A and B are shown apart, each in its own frame.
Chain A
Amino acid sequence: MLFQQIAQNKRKTIYVLIGFILFVSLIGAAIGYFYGTWLGGLIVAVVIALVYTLIMVSQSTNVVMTMNHAREVTDANEAPELFHVVEDMALVARVPMPKVYIIDDPSPNAFATGNDPQHSAVAATSGLLEMMNREELEGVIGHEISHVRNYDIRISTIALALTSTISILVNFGMRGLWWGGGNRNRKEGSSAIDLIFMVLSILSIILAPIVATIIQLALSRNREYLADASSVELTRNPHGLISALQKLDSSQPMKNVDSASAALYISDPKKKKRTSHLFDTHPATADRIERLEKM
């Protein structure tokens, strides 16, 4: 059951990433169409996506930790329980010891970031350390270390970069639409196919940001289930994580959380309640607990 779920989630993540890259190319082509060359637009879009992703990936730990007001803990005595639990989980997951950060916030939460297991970091709020006993803390940190081991941290950084790329491209495209682009040398009274292309391009430019967000969020929801499953594989104790999730769910929202990194946290830091689940960054806690109980 555990391994099936992991394999299934990994497959899904790959499909979504491929979809995302195709999507960036499509948007690039649509915008390029208005500037007279769809191929040029496609190439420019892919190049922008690659450069942006590379920059994000190489700087992720510093950028993300600063955005979330986290301070690094280098001495184990400063937060012995957290430090030792991170050590335990890194040991059993066979990954190098990540850097440990603390965020001063009474709301319990945690996240992991970095490029690969050799350059990773785990952050926990002071509220998490207050509220959780060791078993629960192990469940939460196991979840974060699983994000590290499964390379989720890299995928989420890439997804973030691609979403940003799309918003850059769309800005560019909107300008093209507004001014009619440089494509004035096209023959007047051209075919119906041209018209269809035009409408499709406009539509995709307008819808792109929404679709990008939905894809990014779906990706993050899947990864949460996978990390829950892997955490139990590490601790061999589903009860700790179940009880931690219950506590996380019933707690207060975080004070000042960076909205771009909201998807990184183990539990939605904003505690938004929406009627539609399409825009949720996290799966419903009840669903997560149900899956854990089945294992």
Chain B
Amino acid sequence: MITWIIIIVVIALIAIIYMTQFNGLVKMRTYVEESWSQIDVQLKRRNDLIPNLINTTKGYAKYEQETLARVVGLRNQMTEIPAGDRQKTMEVSNQLSGSLKSLFAVAENYPDLKANTQFTQLMEELSNTENKIAYSRQLYNSSVANLNMKIQSFPSNIVAGIHHFKQSDYLQVPEEEKETPKVNFDDDFKGFDK
């Protein structure tokens, strides 16, 4: 009788541990996917904003056609990347962030453009999306770190093996962002102290 009770208790315990480990893995995998979809939303939003930006700056920045063309080229390249290729998407996205940054730096030479309210609004919108891309990438990478740790550590590694949970790859962070993390177009104009 007692032996049976002990066996049942042990089985129940194992089942509970198994369940919590499995649910934990599912939750972490969901976190990774969720943070990717957040990045995706912002990338799409930025792609929608760029035509407005081009229209607004075109009249002013006659001499910066090269920069504008580069932004448009990279934007179109973004739309052509197949949906599943996260590394490639982020690689092109990082280049686009860089050329947008130089476009805003160039705008410094055009006082009329800086005074244009539509332009300043676009600038806030774009730095907002750039920041959100950077922050959701940070969230993505920390979610991936948690998932990968869970897949490797005991006892969740057994559950992960049975249900074929796969480790995810980190997204590349551009070199200059490792130093000062977030994009800040506004500051080029505001200066440090207002």
Of A81, A91, A94, the residue contacting B124 (CB under 8 A) is A81
Contact A236 B139 (CB under 8 A): no
Asked, given contacts A84-B124, A91-B38, A236-B138, whether A134 binds B186 with beta carbons under 8 Å apart, the answer is yes
CB distance from B126 to the nearest CB of A (A): 11
Q: How far is the CA of A131 from the CA of B124 in the complex (A)?
A: 17
Contact B194 A92 (CB under 8 A): no
Q: Helix, strand, loop or mixed for chain B's interface?
A: helix
Segment with Cβ contacts to A, from B10-18, B68-76, B177-185: B177-185
| Interface presence of B163 (CB below 8 A) | no
B28-53 to A contact mask, C-beta < 8 Å, 1/0: 00010000001000000000000000
Instruction: List residues of chain A with CB within 8 A of the CB of B85.
Output: none
Contact A134 B127 (CB under 8 A): yes
Contact A133 B192 (CB under 8 A): yes
Instruction: List residues of chain B with CB within 8 A of the CB of A92.
Output: 135-136, 138-139
Q: Helix, strand, loop or mixed for chain A's interface?
A: helix
Instruction: List residues of chain A with CB within 8 A of the CB of B62.
Output: none
Instruction: List residues of chain B with CB within 8 A of the CB of A81.
Output: 124, 186
A230-244 to B contact mask, C-beta < 8 Å, 1/0: 000001110100000
CB distance from B46 to the nearest CB of A (A): 14
Instruction: List residues of chain B with CB within 8 A of the CB of A239.
Output: 180
CB distance from A146 to the nearest CB of B (A): 15
Asked, given contacts A81-B124, A237-B182, whether A91 binds B187 with beta carbons under 8 Å apart, the answer is no
| Interface presence of A80 (CB below 8 A) | yes
Q: How far is the CA of A88 from the CA of B127 in the complex (A)?
A: 11
Q: How far is the CA of A138 from the CA of B134 in the complex (A)?
A: 13
Instruction: List residues of chain B with CB within 8 A of the CB of A87.
Output: 128, 132
Q: How far is the CA of A133 from the CA of B191 in the complex (A)?
A: 8
CB distance from B20 to the nearest CB of A (A): 20
Residue of B nearest to A94 (CB): B139
| Interface presence of A116 (CB below 8 A) | no
Of B31, B139, B182, the residue contacting A135 (CB under 8 A) is B182
Asked, given contacts A87-B132, A88-B131, A88-B132, whether A134 binds B139 with beta carbons under 8 Å apart, the answer is no
Asked, given contacts A91-B139, A235-B182, whether A135 binds B132 with beta carbons under 8 Å apart, the answer is no
Instruction: List residues of chain A with CB within 8 A of the CB of B138.
Output: 92, 236
Of A80, A84, A131, A133, the residue contacting B184 (CB under 8 A) is A133
Residue of B nearest to A77 (CB): B121
| Interface presence of A287 (CB below 8 A) | no
Q: How far is the CA of A135 from the CA of B131 in the complex (A)?
A: 11
Interface residues of A in 224-279 (CB under 8 A from B): 235-237, 239
Interface residues of A in 108-153 (CB under 8 A from B): 130-131, 133-135, 138
Which among A81, A91, A131, A235 has the greatest number of chain B C-beta atoms within 10 A?
A: A91
Contact A130 B194 (CB under 8 A): yes
Instruction: List residues of chain A with CB within 8 A of the CB of B121.
Output: 80
Q: How far is the CA of A88 from the CA of B194 in the complex (A)?
A: 23
Interface residues of A in 74-113 (CB under 8 A from B): 80-81, 84-85, 87-88, 91-92, 94
CB distance from B1 to the nearest CB of A (A): 43
Q: How far is the CA of A131 from the CA of B191 in the complex (A)?
A: 11
- Residue numbers of B with Cβ under 8 A of A are 31, 38, 121, 124, 127-128, 131-132, 135-136, 138-139, 180-182, 184, 186-187, 190, 192, 194
What are 24 inter-chain pairs, A to B, with CB distance below 8 A? Answer: A80-B121, A80-B128, A84-B128, A84-B131, A84-B132, A87-B128, A88-B128, A88-B132, A91-B135, A91-B136, A91-B139, A92-B135, A92-B136, A92-B138, A92-B139, A94-B139, A133-B184, A133-B187, A134-B127, A134-B184, A135-B182, A135-B184, A138-B182, A235-B181
What are the nearest 8 A-B pairs in CB distance?
Answer: A84-B128, A92-B135, A236-B181, A80-B124, A237-B181, A88-B135, A134-B184, A92-B139
